[in-house]
Amino acid sequence: MNEPRIPLIAGNWKMHKTIADAEAFIGALLPRIATYDGVEVGICPPFLALQAMVDSTRGSNVQVFAQTMHYAESGAFTGEVAPGMLTEIDVHGTILGHSERRELCGETDKALAQKVPAALEHGLTPILCVGETEEERERGDTERKLRQQIQEDLSRVPEDQLGRVVIAYEPIWAIGTGLTATPEQAQEACAFIRALVGQRSEAAAQSVRILYGGSVKPDNAAELLALPDIDGALVGGASLEAESFAAIVGAAAR
Ligand code: PGA
């Protein structure tokens, strides 16, 4: 019998919240989620608020993630942040390959193939984002896109480490649009991703957590989180208010 996967609800704040805003948010969030059990909670603030959020969440059930990371230890990479800089301040992990980073900042599968193992080597939990565009879905290319991203981005992760990766399935047409994938679409894609991981390691496929992301809100979270291959959510817009984020955490709790 496999260990049950503990759901993870992660809030991707994107370029929102100053340090003062972040402190106000966490002050409102912690009492709302203090009694929830059987769920892991993550927040992904902008780099400048990471230290403050690590300090403010110490001793709580909230983990702090960055939104991106370089793979190198150091070097001439203006504007980038290295893995050791995140671990130095006790950051728990990082989002990698978010569609906005892929589209707007040129984050490639080639770079991700180095970033995912670099995060794991430093003890950081990567949340690797994958997903198709609207055109790719309409053309029937969803599985091809997911296969290409999963195979390339995880290509250098050793089999015994694969189960530590968190994968977020985020159909690009559902991000920030208010359009959510139907439960059938979300389950089908997440099951497909798990099967792809299973081609490398069946044990990893059973332990890898697959999140759904794309317009997750308090009123649709429970239905999505109940699906067999969905182990949590990566939440954008609805993670900016403590009340709505706590409601989504509650939907995942035991
Ligand atoms: P959204 O964003 O919840 O606002 O759609 C999700 C994401 O980009 O991770």
- Which residue shows structure tokens 């902008």? 46
Task: Please give the model's pTM, rounded to 2 decimal places.
Answer: 0.97
Q: Name residue, tokens 């991106």.
A: 68
- The C-alpha angle with vertex 253 and arms to 224 and 23, in degrees rounded to 5, equals 100
Ligand 1 midpoint to CA 237 (Å): 6
pLDDT at 1: 53
pLDDT (0 to 100) of residue 3: 80
Q: Could you give the CA distance from residue 21 to residue 170 in angstroms, rounded to a whole number?
A: 26
d(C-alpha 214, C-alpha 220), whole Å: 11
Bin 197: left if φ > 0, else alpha if -120 < ψ < 50, else beta: alpha
Question: Is 170 marked active-site?
Answer: yes
Q: Which of 68, 73, 27, 24 is nearest to 46 (CA)?
A: 68
Ligand 1 mutation pick, 220, 234, 245, max ligand atoms within 8 A of CB: 234
Q: Whose CA is nearest to atom 3 of ligand 1?
A: 236
Q: How far is CA 99 from the centre of its chain?
A: 12
The CA angle 22-24-29, to the nearest 5 degrees, is 90
Choice among 70, 92, 98, 122 that is catalytic: 98
Q: Is 234 in the pocket of ligand 1 (CB under 6 A)?
A: yes
Q: Which two tokens stand for residue 126?
A: 């990567």
Helix (H, G, I), strand (E, B) or coil at 80: coil
Q: Can 16 be counted among the known catalytic residues?
A: no
Ordered mean pLDDT values, 10 residues apiece, the chain (254 residues): 88 98 98 96 98 97 97 97 98 98 96 98 98 96 98 98 98 91 96 98 97 96 97 98 98 94
Residue 9: closest CA among 230, 182, 160: 230
From ligand 1's centre to the CA of 129, what distance in Å? 11
Centre of ligand 1 from the C-alpha of residue 215, in Å: 6
CA 212 to chain CA mean position, Å: 9
* Both structure tokens of 238: 């609805």
Helix, strand, or coil here: 227? coil
Our answer on whether the CB atom of 131 is closer than 6 Å to any ligand 1 atom is no
CB-ligand 1 contact for 215 (6 Å cutoff): yes
214 pocket-lining for ligand 1 (C-beta < 6 Å): yes
| Structure-block tokens of residue 159 | 């089999």
- Burial class (CB within 10 angstroms; exposed 0-12, middle 13-18, buried 19+) of 162: buried
Is the Cβ atom of 232 under 6 angstroms away from ligand 1? no
Whether 230 and 210 have beta carbons less than 8 Å apart is answered as: yes
